[in-house]
Amino acid sequence: MTTKEEILKAIQESAEELGKMPTIAELKRLKKIGLKTVKRYFSRYSDALREAGFEPQGPGYKLPLETLVKDWLAIASKLGKVPSLLEYNRQSAYSVGPLIGRYGGWTEVPRGVLLFLREKGLEEEWGDVAAMLERHESCNGSGDSRSSAGNGKWKDAPLYGAPLTPWSMLHAPINEMGVLYLLGALAPYVKLVVTRAQAPFPDLEVMREVEPGLWQRVPAELEFESRNFLIHGHDPDKVAMIVCWVHNWPECPVEVVELSAVLRRLRGAP
């Protein structure tokens, strides 16, 4: 049986190998130690991280804005350009969620970071990146990215005929953001109304009909696969449901809304 000391050592070794604090999924992949083993000695995975010498960061933990911004600035400085969402996700120790939640979208992050530098008087300290952000915002505000005709066409992008399907999302989701958009499109069919979406756990606050004519506001969590809820170490007592694309957690202790199953039902497929 794995001991408490072996778990702590495994976390530290995984962090050294990854160059960042390991998630529970990464710990299981690298050291074959899963959440069930961790919970023999710790109430939560975050408790194990703290005892191993780390400050937990990620879903459920509110990071200081300065920490997020300086992390983004360091990546931008290393790349010599504004990082794409994929580039940031590959190089940062944090997820993209906190910055998106703070600024309302990934494309708004550069403007938000530039304003932060100005407000804190850090433009000189981050001179090269600040100048790059100034150029980036100047280009984005010039209107050059749109055709001069002003008809909304994006330059060099191909044109298509009108969609022949009533669905507002053409391809299946591949991440939580896709699940959120699809939930909005299917809301009338699953009888859920989103009243709040946020970066910290839980992701959503939704209204649902519990009796004819009676609705209740409940917390819900978005996952691409329902089993990710377990991998992320979330507390099932804090949510009323999981909204996902694929339901692959048969032992799930809370209600699951599987959007792929909803689509199959609407299409009349088994």
88 and 133 in one domain? yes
- State the pLDDT confidence band at 58, using cuts at 50, 70 and 90: low
| Residue 256 located in a structural domain | yes
46 and 84 in one domain? no
pLDDT tens readout for residues 195-246: 999 888 999 999 988 778 888 999 999 999 999 998 888 999 999 999 999 9
| Residue 58 located in a structural domain | no
Query: pLDDT at residue 147 above 70?
Result: no
Cα–Cα dist 88/109, whole Å: 12
69 token code pair:
């911004």
Query: pLDDT at residue 60 above 70?
Result: no
pLDDT tens readout for residues 9-24: 998 888 878 777 788 8
105 and 82 in one domain? yes
| Residue 248 located in a structural domain | yes
Look at residue 144 in the predicted model and tell me its pLDDT: 38
Q: Is the pTM of this model over 0.75?
A: no
Nearest to 239 by CA among 224, 227, 256: 256
pLDDT tens readout for residues 100-112: 767 777 888 899 8
Nearest to 173 by CA among 104, 262, 108, 99: 262
| Residue 16 located in a structural domain | yes
| Residue 164 located in a structural domain | no
- State the pLDDT confidence band at 164, using cuts at 50, 70 and 90: low
255 and 196 in one domain? yes
Kindly state the percentage of the chain with pLDDT values over 70: 85
Look at residue 143 in the predicted model and tell me its pLDDT: 40
Average pLDDT, integer, range 26-32: 91
Q: Which of 39-43, 168-172, 242-246 has the lowest mean pLDDT?
A: 168-172
46 and 71 in one domain? no
Average pLDDT, integer, range 125-148: 71
Q: What's the distance, CA 27 to chain centroid?
A: 20
Query: pLDDT at residue 59 above 60?
Result: no
H runs (alpha helix) in the chain: 4-18, 24-31, 35-38, 45-51, 65-79, 85-91, 97-103, 109-120, 127-141, 176-190, 228-231, 259-267
More confident residue, 7 or 55: 7
Query: pLDDT at residue 8 above 80?
Result: yes
Look at residue 146 in the predicted model and tell me its pLDDT: 36
250 and 218 in one domain? yes
131 and 190 in one domain? no
Q: Mean pLDDT, the chain, as a whole number?
A: 83
198 and 253 in one domain? yes
Look at residue 7 in the predicted model and tell me its pLDDT: 94
> Could you list the residue range(s) of the whole structural domain that residue 230 is in?
176-267
Question: Are the beta carbons of 113 and 69 closer than 8 angstroms?
Answer: yes
Query: pLDDT at residue 259 above 80?
Result: yes
| Residue 161 located in a structural domain | no
251 and 187 in one domain? yes
Q: Quick check: bond before 202 cis, omega within 30?
A: yes
| Residue 111 located in a structural domain | yes
Q: Which of 113-117, 135-139, 155-159, 200-204 has the lowest mean pLDDT?
A: 155-159
Looking at the structure of the chain, the number of domains it has is 3
25 and 78 in one domain? no
94 and 43 in one domain? no
261 and 197 in one domain? yes
| Residue 183 located in a structural domain | yes
